[in-house]
Amino acid sequence: MTSVMWFRRDLRLHDNPALRHAVDDGAVLPLFVVDPALWGPAGPSRRAYLVASLRSLRDDVPVQVRHGDPREVVVAAARAVGATRVHVAADYGPYGARRDEEVEKALADAGIELVRTGSPYAVAPGRVRTGSGGPYQVFTPFSRAWREHGWRGPVAAPDRTGGVDWLALDDAEELPDAPLPDGLALPPAGEAAARARWEEFLERVADYDEQRDRPGVDGTSRLSHHLKYGELHPRTLLADLEPLIQRGSEGAQTFRQEIAWREFYADVLHRRPDTARDYYKAEFAHMEYDDPGPGFEAWCEGRTGFPVVDAGMRQLRATGWMHNRVRMIAASFLVKDLHVEWQHGARHFMRWLVDGDLASNQHGWQWTAGCGTDAAPYFRVFNPTAQGTRFDPAGEYVRRWVPELAAARKPHEPTAAERRAGGYPAPIVDHAAERTEALDRYHRLREQRAG
Ligand SMILES: Cc1cc2nc3c(=O)[nH]c(=O)nc-3n(C[C@H](O)[C@H](O)[C@H](O)COP(=O)(O)OP(=O)(O)OC[C@H]3O[C@@H](n4cnc5c(N)ncnc54)[C@H](O)[C@@H]3O)c2cc1C
């Protein structure tokens, strides 16, 4: 039997059940569709990274590229090679799920079956249910039930050297150009890079729970972009973590919880696709917000005068990544110090993040803004100076990304003279005053809703 393996966010050979399935069917057309509906909004970081990842996959699999609407392109490609099945890993995002249903119908009209095997998650969104069969609203019980649900073990990669009959398209196209803007350098892409990073990180996962909140040190896995494009599957990570957890490693346990956050947010977005744009807690739509103005521009460009915020925003633009602790500080600053709605910040993050993922990003923002799942109460306003001093005590993170403050004695609290000497701006707002303003707005919202 001939089939198509339609690659999307699963750019790997190992532990790829859909690919395994396709190869077991017989001859395989490995296909990637450049869908204009996704390519445009992806932003320069993810476009460039995706192309690099596909180039890397092509070292092992002769992936054929077509540009256009998958509803047409996938059917045409399957017909061209006489395939009777198209294999995919299921997509649970709002756009992907809808697209797949439509592709499925178009394929069915041509007598071809769409076969979904696996997903980008250890447990597919929608599977973890409460005792009464509903979805979980908060993380901790979800993560417990998620662990109890469990997941299958990794599947072997298809034999690269022998056997696989890869098919080609007569009208295959080139990968698109995806130039990187000046000043942006991305991490290496592809399955081999992902596996190397994971193996290196496993050596120090024991320290993860102590190091992961320190933006100045390399204490986290930096796997998010690899997970985003499926160069590595979370099941692989969970299988490697298990013996360490059994031996009592707290770092490995904490790391597993972070994977669970990724799965939780995918679950939440799956059941509430509206929350990609709208408030998870709808009442927050009625709060008073300010239009994004010069303050928003200063935030985007990393010149708010708050060192840790600016360091994060510059790290984002230079590397396509920002440390999690700093994502929270920067997001809180936009919403609670500048009173700008979370969606504006989320859009900026999605434009530049290599790991930009609708579920984790939108819900990371909503959590920080106090309008999302879980208990991040609105009145818990991050103080950027205190946060910076606490989590970057030696100031190495700020010195690295805000060189104007390299000589400051306390880089999180530079004096006016140190700011002037380095050419670094004064704070654009008074944090204490804006904190009060944010809380006043919140109280007005509550009174309005109560009355
Ligand atoms: C405002 C905001 C926006 C965010 N946007 C994204 C995004 O677009 N894409 C994205 O992958 N993550 C996002 N996160 C979550 C988190 O910041 C990143 O996953 C993490 O910084 C990636 O670095 P790492 O791989 O070194 O993480 P590690 O600390 O090594 O964590 C391991 C993995 O666990 C997952 N993870 C960790 N923390 C979280 C979390 N809070 N939510 C969901 N998954 C998590 C990621 O897949 C990560 O790669 C966001 C967080 C916030 C507060």
Amino acid letter, 400 = R
| Helix (H) / strand (E) containing 108 | helix 94-109
Give the closest residue to 85 by CA, choosing from 11, 24, 149. 24
Q: Does the CB atom of residue 139 touch ligand 1 within 6 A?
A: no
> What is the rounded CA–CA span in Å between residue 376 and residue 228?
25
Residue ranges, comma separated, of all CATH 1.10.579.10 domains in the chain are: 282-450
User: Given ligand 1 and candidates 324, 327, 342, 374, which is best to mutate, with the most ligand atoms within 8 Å of its CB?
Assistant: 324
Residue tagged 């080139």 (tokens)? 174
Q: How much distance in Å is there from the Cα of 360 to the middle of ligand 1?
A: 7
Q: Does the CB atom of residue 264 touch ligand 1 within 6 A?
A: no
* Closest approach atom of ligand 1 to CA 361: 5
Residue nearest to atom 12 of ligand 1 (CA): 360
Which tokens sit at 307? Answer: 């060192």
* Closest approach atom of ligand 1 to CA 330: 1
Give the closest residue to 398 by CA, choosing from 350, 295, 342, 329. 329
Q: Does the CB atom of residue 361 touch ligand 1 within 6 A?
A: yes
* Closest approach atom of ligand 1 to CA 264: 43
Give the CATH H-level superfamily of domain 3-119. Answer: HUPs (3.40.50.620)
Cβ(67)–Cβ(54) below 8 Å? no
Q: Does the CB atom of residue 222 touch ligand 1 within 6 A?
A: yes
Residue ranges, comma separated, of all CATH 1.25.40.80 domains in the chain are: 120-152+192-271
Q: Does the CB atom of residue 221 touch ligand 1 within 6 A?
A: yes
Domain 120-152+192-271, CATH among 3.40.710.10, 1.25.40.80, 2.40.30.60, 1.10.10.10: 1.25.40.80
Classify 50 as helix, strand or coil: helix
The pLDDT of residue 159: 65
Q: How much distance in Å is there from the Cα of 262 to the middle of ligand 1?
A: 7
Q: Does the CB atom of residue 207 touch ligand 1 within 6 A?
A: no
Which tokens sit at 163? Answer: 């056997």
Residue nearest to atom 16 of ligand 1 (CA): 324
Give the closest residue to 327 by CA, choosing from 404, 384, 262. 384
Total residues belonging to the chain = 451
Contacts of 123 by beta carbon, 8 Å cutoff, 6+ apart: 146, 149, 150, 151, 263
Amino acid letter, 333 = F
* Closest approach atom of ligand 1 to CA 265: 43
Residue ranges, comma separated, of all CATH 3.40.50.620 domains in the chain are: 3-119
The pTM of the full predicted model, rounded to 2 decimals, is 0.97
* Closest approach atom of ligand 1 to CA 345: 1
Give the closest residue to 176 by CA, choosing from 294, 44, 374. 44
CA dihedral 204, 210, 213, 219 (to 10 degrees): -20
The pLDDT of residue 377: 77
Q: Does the CB atom of residue 224 touch ligand 1 within 6 A?
A: yes
Q: How much distance in Å is there from the Cα of 437 to the middle of ligand 1?
A: 29
Contacts of 222 by beta carbon, 8 Å cutoff, 6+ apart: 187, 197, 201, 321
* Closest approach atom of ligand 1 to CA 222: 26
Assigned fold of 282-450: DNA Cyclobutane Dipyrimidine Photolyase, subunit A; domain 3 (1.10.579)
Residue nearest to atom 38 of ligand 1 (CA): 258
Q: Does the CB atom of residue 259 touch ligand 1 within 6 A?
A: yes
Cβ(326)–Cβ(311) below 8 Å? yes
> What is the rounded CA–CA span in Å between residue 303 and residue 307?
8
Which tokens sit at 306? Answer: 């708050």
Q: How much distance in Å is there from the Cα of 270 to the middle of ligand 1?
A: 18
Classify 87 as helix, strand or coil: strand
Q: Does the CB atom of residue 360 touch ligand 1 within 6 A?
A: yes
Classify 435 as helix, strand or coil: helix
Give the closest residue to 251 by CA, choosing from 199, 201, 321. 201
The pLDDT of residue 411: 97
Q: Does the CB atom of residue 335 touch ligand 1 within 6 A?
A: no
* Closest approach atom of ligand 1 to CA 201: 30
* Closest approach atom of ligand 1 to CA 225: 11
Tens of pLDDT along the chain (451 residues)?
A: 999 999 999 999 999 999 999 999 899 999 999 999 999 999 999 999 999 999 999 999 999 999 999 999 999 999 999 999 999 999 999 999 999 999 999 999 999 999 999 999 999 999 999 999 999 999 999 999 999 999 999 988 776 546 789 999 999 999 999 999 899 999 999 999 999 999 999 999 999 999 999 999 999 999 999 999 999 999 999 999 999 999 999 999 999 999 999 999 999 999 999 999 999 999 999 999 999 999 999 999 999 999 999 999 999 999 999 999 999 999 999 999 999 999 999 999 999 999 999 999 999 999 999 999 976 678 889 999 999 999 999 999 999 999 999 999 999 999 999 999 999 999 999 999 999 999 999 999 999 888 7
> Alpha carbon 176 to chain centroid distance?
22
Q: Does the CB atom of residue 143 touch ligand 1 within 6 A?
A: no
What is the per-residue burial (b if ≥16 Cβ within 10 Å, else e) of 369-381?
bbbbbbeeebeeb
Q: Does the CB atom of residue 211 touch ligand 1 within 6 A?
A: no
